[in-house]
């Protein structure tokens, strides 16, 4: 095998964190403040702040002129740019409008987001508190 370069310096010795953990509420406040700064005054920190949150994307399409009777919706969740959960499926109901299709997709996305957050809280090797979720919804509700 040939050696591969890595952005992590192997000479750095990692040590266990002995400091007191920050509460979930306080951590969420800090990340929220950083996101506000990144979006409004400091675009140069946007990339670094974006690595700290789980992002959820949701979308759906409404079958308008087609033989199909059910719409398709889906979602994807990423952490640090890597996909951790995704789904694309036909909806179980026949929707009457594009808004209803998008709301059904949002409901499925929210259900998965809650499950992911609970799952990650139960993992012993995940650093607590968890970063807040950032939902990026591609919705046209009006």
86-116 pLDDT per residue, tens: 999 888 888 888 788 888 888 888 899 888 8
Range of the domain at 26: 21-52
Within this chain, do residues 81 and 33 fall inside the same structural domain, yes or no? no
Of the given ranges (6-15, 23-32, 51-60, 82-91), which has the lowest mean pLDDT? 6-15
Domain contains 1: no
Within this chain, do residues 35 and 71 fall inside the same structural domain, yes or no? no
Within this chain, do residues 81 and 46 fall inside the same structural domain, yes or no? no
Within this chain, do residues 73 and 103 fall inside the same structural domain, yes or no? yes
Within this chain, do residues 48 and 82 fall inside the same structural domain, yes or no? no
Domain contains 115: yes
DSSP letter (8 states) at residue 124: T
Strand 72-79 to 82-90 pairing:
antiparallel
Of the given ranges (35-39, 46-50, 99-103, 136-140), which has the lowest mean pLDDT? 136-140
109-129 pLDDT per residue, tens: 889 988 888 887 777 766 666
Mean pLDDT of the chain: 74
- Average pLDDT for 19-25: 68
Within this chain, do residues 30 and 85 fall inside the same structural domain, yes or no? no
Q: Cβ distance 134 to 46 under 8 Å? A: no
Q: How far is CA 80 from CA 2, 55, 56, 98, 140, in A?
A: 27, 9, 12, 31, 27
Within this chain, do residues 41 and 104 fall inside the same structural domain, yes or no? no
Within this chain, do residues 44 and 65 fall inside the same structural domain, yes or no? no
Within this chain, do residues 84 and 120 fall inside the same structural domain, yes or no? yes
Pure H helices in 43-124: 46-50, 98-122
What whole-number distance in Å separates Cα of residue 90 and Cα of residue 3?
45
Within this chain, do residues 30 and 94 fall inside the same structural domain, yes or no? no
pTM for the complete prediction?
0.57
Instruction: State how many domains the chain has.
Output: 2
Domain contains 4: no
């Amino acid at each position: 095998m040939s050696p591969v370069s890595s952005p992590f310096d192997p000479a750095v010795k990692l040590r266990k964190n002995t400091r007191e953990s920050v509460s979930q509420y306080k951590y969420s406040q800090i990340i929220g403040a950083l996101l506000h700064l990144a979006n409004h005054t400091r675009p140069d920190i946007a990339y670094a702040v974006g690595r700290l949150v789980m992002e959820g994307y949701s979308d759906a399409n409404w079958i308008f002129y087609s033989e199909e009777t059910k719409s398709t919706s889906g979602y994807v969740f990423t952490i640090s740019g890597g996909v951790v959960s995704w789904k694309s499926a036909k909806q179980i109901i026949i929707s009457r409008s594009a808004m209803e299709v998008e709301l059904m997709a949002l409901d499925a996305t929210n259900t998965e987001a809650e499950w992911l957050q609970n799952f990650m809280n139960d993992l012993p090797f995940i650093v607590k508190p968890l970063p807040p979720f950032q939902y990026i919804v591609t919705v046209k509700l009006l």
